Amino acid sequence: MPDGYFLTPMHGTPNTPAPPDIHLVFPATEMSVRRALLSLRASLKALAINELAIGFVEIILAEVANNIVEHAYPLNESGTVTLSCSKAEQGLRFEVSDRGKILPGGVIPPTKDHDLDAEINHLPEGGFGWGLIRDMTSMLMYKRDEDRNILRFRDAFAKV
């Protein structure tokens, strides 16, 4: 396993929910996000998730994790990202959490409308991520629990 992130064993008791099928904890850095996505890809293959669905999951989680790296932790502040995935009949359920800054206003940012007919040098830079995440997920939910940001969603494309 690459340095800098690790799988966390989850042990349940009879009265607790089943542990997630995938549980990753990794530093909030660009390189660690790349490594975590590779590990996630391998784990989803092991769960017999099809390649198309894995590709969609990678897009969603790359957006989510890179937002955490860029915006949740101020420069020179280290932190971690926790990602859990459970396979269910309705698709894949995800929870991503961190202990970084709260989302602005304590809510998921709205989708921005962009004029994509503009000249190429006037096209917007950024601002597409949350719209993409909204379009590619279902049951998207965010909450701040004490010092943790928690984002939960289902992958709208992965049918298991």
The structural domains of the chain, with segments of one domain joined by +, span: 6-155
Q: What is the pLDDT of residue 29?
A: 95
82-101 pLDDT tens trace? 999 999 887 899 999 999 99
- Per-residue confidence (pLDDT) for residue 156, from 0 to 100: 64
pLDDT of residue 153: 95
In CATH, the architecture of 6-155 is 2-Layer Sandwich (3.30)
Select from 77, 5, 72, 56 the least CA-distant residue to 34. Answer: 5
Give the rounded percent of residues in the chain with a pLDDT score beyond 90.
59
The set of long-range contacts for 73-79, using a CB threshold of 8 Å and a minimum separation of 24, is 73/28, 73/98, 73/100, 73/101, 74/101, 78/27, 78/28, 79/27, 79/28
Residue 20 confidence (pLDDT): 92
Instruction: Collect the ranges in the chain with pLDDT lower than 50.
Output: 1-12, 123-124
